[in-house]
Structure 1
C-alpha cells in the first residue's frame, strides 16, 4: 500500500470496506433466504409424502390390485420418483432410478419406523428424499421430490449477491477516488503553487478558501510567498544597485587594464606575470558585473516585454555570425521552428551557451535547431570531456562553476552564464539541460514551446 498515492490508498480502502460490508450482508441474506426457502420446500414435501404414504398403506391392507396405478398417480412430475420397499421387492414409479443409488441408512430408517429426509443428487438431478415407514409392514415409502427449481433459484440468488458485492466494491473505489480528489484538491493547488515558486514565478498564490480548516493554510502560504517575493526583490535590487555603482570604477579599471595590456612587453618578469593576472581578473570582474546586472534586471521585471514570433534558425545563425573567430556549423530544420519570445533574451541565452563551450569545452562542434513533439529544440554540442551526471543540475545554479570552482584564470568564468541561460529559457516556458553527446563531449539542450502557426 505504501507504493500507492494517498488518493489511491483512500479509494482502495473505501472499496475494500464496501466489499467487506456488502459480503457480510450478502452472507446473512443468503443464509436467511436459502434456509427459509429450503425449510418451506422440505415441509411441503414431507406433508405431501405423509398423505401419500397413508394411501399406499390403505391399498396394502386391502390387497388392492391397483397399487401400481396408485403409485403412478402419486408422482407429481416427470422428475419426481416414488419407491416402495416391501419385503425384498422394490416398486418404482415416475422417473426411474436405481434403488441402490439411495443411501442405505436412509432406507433402513424407514424400515425401522423412523421418518427421515435428506437432500441428494440422483442421476444428476437434486432431489429431497423423504422416507416414511408403512404401518403394519416392515416396508418403507420413499419419495424423491425434485429441487431443480429451488436449485436454479439458489444459483440466481448467489450470482446476484456476488454481482452486488463486486459492484459495491467498484462503486466504493470510484467514490473513494472522487472523495479523495476533492479532499486533496487544496494539496494539489498547494503543490502547483509551490512548484511555480520553485520555478521562479514568485507571484504564484493559493486561491481564497471558504473551508475554515483550509483558510489558515492558504493564508499562511500566501503570506510566506509574499515575504519570499519581497526578499528576493530586495536582494535583486541590492545586486542591481551594487552592480550599477560598480560600472563607473569598473570602466576605469577596464580602460587602465587595456592600456597596461598594450604595454605588456615593457613589463618583464614577475611584474609582467602579475600584470597578466590583474588584467584577466579585471576582465572576469567586468563579465561578472554585466551578468549581475542582467540577472537583477530579470528578477525585478514583473511583466515580460512585448513578445514576437522568432525564427530560431535565423536567430542562431545571426548570433554565430556576430561572433569573432571560426563559425560553428549550424544545422536547422526546414522550415525552422518558431517561438513566441523576447529576442534579446534568446540571443543572450544562445550566446552564453556558445561562450561556455568555447571557454570550458574546447569549442563548439555543432549547433542543431529543429522541432520535436511541439517543442522547438536547440542543441549545442561541444568538444569537451562532458559533464559528470552529479554536476548536470548544479551547473545551472548561480555562481556554480562545477569542477572549476575555486580556480582562477581568464577562462574560468563567473558562474553566472548558464544560470542566465536557465533563467531566460524559463521565462519562455522552456527547459534547459545537459546530456552526453554521441561520440564524446556534452550536449546542451534548450526546449521551448513552439508558436502557433
Structure 2
C-alpha cells in the first residue's frame, strides 16, 4: 500500500485556514440565502395573493351582476405574457393569458377553492415557475385560479446563489493564500535556521543566524550562534593541532624517508627475515609520509575557509596536464569538443584529479578511462577503473577521513592513508560541487565529480 506524502507545516496551516474560511463563509452564505430568499419569496407570494384576491372579487361581482364581457374582464386581469387566469365553473373552464393545459393545475388546489378554502402553491408549468393562487367564487360555485409568474424571482435567486457560491470559494482561496503567507512568515526563522545548519554541515563554519527583533526568537538566534561559534573554535583548534603535529613530524619524517631510501638501495645486502622487515619498514615510512602531507593539506583547508584563488579553468586541459605529468602508462582523456570552464582553485583541482588517479592505481590497477563532459550547467569528471568495484554499503564511507573501505586494518603493500578521497570530497565541496562513486558499466568503479560550470 502506497503511503501518501505528508503535507508540510506550511501547507497544513494554509489548508486548515482555508477549511475554516470555507466553513464560516458557507454558514454565512447559507444564512444569507435563507433570510433573503425567504423574505423575497414571502413578499412575492403576498403580492400575488393580494392581486389575486382583488381580481377574484371583480370576477365574483361581475358574475353576481350578470354583466356581459366576462372574457374581456379575464383578459384584462392578466398581468403579463407569462401570467394565466382560470375560472372554474360547473361544466366549463374559462382561461385567459398564457395558454396552458388545465390538467397541469393540481386538482386538489382547485377543489380547495371550490370549498371556500383559499390556497396557494408553487408550480412549474411548461417550464416556467409560477405561484398558483386558488380562491372561491361563491356566486358561481366555482374557483378562481391565477398563475403569477416567478421568472424574475427565479433569476434573482439564481444570481444570488451564484454570487454566494463564488464568494464562498473566493474567500476560501483567500484563506489558503493568507494561511500560506502567514505560515511562511512564521516559519521564516526556522527556514533561516535550517539554511544555516545546512551550511555548517556542509563545512561553512561561519554561517550564523541574523539578529532577531522578535523577543521570542532572540534567544534561539543567540543560542544557535553561540553553539556555532563554539563549534567553529573547536574545529579550528583541532585543525591547528593536527597541522602543528604534522608540521613537527615533517623534519624527523624527512630523515626517516631519506634513511629508508638508503636502506632500500641496499636491500640486496639484507637477506632473509631482516630483508622482509626492511621492506615493510620502508613501505610504512612512505605511507606515513603521504599521511603527514595529507594531514597538512586537510588542516590547512579546515583553518582557511575563504582562501580559494578562483579563476576560470578549462577542466579538460587541467586533467590532461595532470595525466601527462604522471609516470607510467598514460590514459587517454575523453572530452567534449567545446571547452568546459569552471571557476575554481587550480591547486585544489589538480589535487582532486591526482588523488582520484592515485586511488584507481592503488586499489584497481590504474584508471582505464578519464572523461570530462558538460552536463546541464555542470562540468562532469569521470574516472573509471577495472577493479573489483566499491560495495554499495561503502560508497559513502570511503569519502570519510581515515576510512579505507574493505582494506581497513590491513598492512603491507600500498593501502593508502584513508585521506586521499576525503581531500577530494573536501576540495569539491569548496567548489560547490559533488562527488560520488557508482558501478562502471562492464565492471569496476566509476568516480564522478560534478562542479558548476563557470558563468552559470
TM-score interval, normalised by the smaller of the two chains: over 0.9
Aligned to 1:166: 169
Q: Distance in 1 between matches of 2:70 and 2:21?
A: 60
Give the Cα separation in 1 of the matches to 2:173 and 2:388: 56
Over residues 102-143 of structure 1, what are the superposed CA-to-partner deviations in whole Å (9 max), with x where a residue is unaligned? 112111111111111011001110000011111244311110
Q: 3-state DSSP class of the match of 2:215?
A: coil
How far apart, CA to CA, are the structure 2 residues paired with 1:89 and 1:270?
138
Q: Show the counterpart of 1:87.
A: 90
Which residue does the alignment assign to 1:284? 287
CA–CA distance in structure 1, aligned partners of residues 5 and 324 of structure 2: 56
Matched, 1:229 2:249: no
Match of 1:189 in 2: 192
Report the counterpart of residue 383 of structure 1 in structure 2. 386
From 436, 450, 454, give the equivalent of 1:451.
Answer: 454
Report 1:244-323 matches (<5 A).
Answer: 244-323=247-326
Deviation at 1:426, TM superposition (A): 1.3
Aligned with residue 104 of structure 1, among 107, 117, 123: 107
Whether 2:62 is the aligned partner of 1:62: answer: no
Equivalent residues in 2 for 1:20-419 (5 A)? Answer: 20-419=23-422
In 2, distance between residues paired with 1:137 and 1:72?
19
CA displacement at 1:314 relative to structure 2 = 1.4
Aligned residues: 453
Residue pair 1:283, 1:410 contacting (<8 A) in 2 also: no
Q: Deviations over 1:267-293 (max 9, x none)?
A: 333333222222222221111111101
Cα distance in structure 2, aligned partners of 1:253 and 1:88: 135
Q: 2: CA distance between counterparts of 1:110 and 1:305?
A: 101
Aligned to 2:428: 425
What is the CA distance between 1:305 and its match in structure 2?
A: 4.3
What SS does the aligned partner of 2:138 have?
Answer: coil
TM-score, with length taken from structure 2: 0.96
Q: Deviations over 1:24-54 (max 9, x none)?
A: 1100000000000000000000000000010
Distance 1:115 1:429 in 2: 89
Distance 1:153 1:258, change over 3 A: same
Gaps of at least 5 residues in structure 1 are: none
Matched residue SS, 2:129: strand
Structure 2 unaligned runs (5+)?
Answer: none
Task: Give CA deviations for 1:186-233 in whole Å, capped at 9, x if unaligned.
Answer: 111111111110000000001111111111111111000000000000
Q: String of CA shifts for 1:136-162, please: whole Å, max 9, x gaps.
A: 443111100000000000000000111
Give distance in 2, aligned partners of 1:207 and 1:65.
98
Cα distance in 1 for residues equivalent to 2:280 and 2:230: 42
- In 2, Cα distance between the equivalents of 1:306 and 1:389? 35
Task: Give the secondary structure class of the aligned counterpart of 2:436.
Answer: strand
Compute the displacement of 1:451 (Å).
Answer: 2.1
State the shift of 1:369 in Å. Answer: 1.1
Shift of 1:257: 2.0
The 8 Å contact of residues 211 and 221 in structure 2, kept in 1 or not, is answered as yes
Are the counterparts in 2 of residues 111 and 133 from structure 1 also a CA contact under 8 Å? yes
TM-superposed deviation, 1:184 = 1.0
Compared with structure 1, are the counterparts of its residues 336 and 2 closer, same or farther at alpha carbon in structure 2 (3 Å cutoff)? closer
CA distance in 2, matches of 1:243, 1:429: 28
Is the contact made by 2:63 and 2:139 (CA closer than 8 Å) also made in structure 1?
Answer: no
Kindly indicate whether the alpha-carbon contact (under 8 Å) linking 2:204 and 2:305 is maintained by their aligned counterparts in 1.
Answer: no
Further displaced range: 364-373 or 46-55: 364-373
In 1, the alpha carbon distance for the partners of 2:90 and 2:408 equals: 113
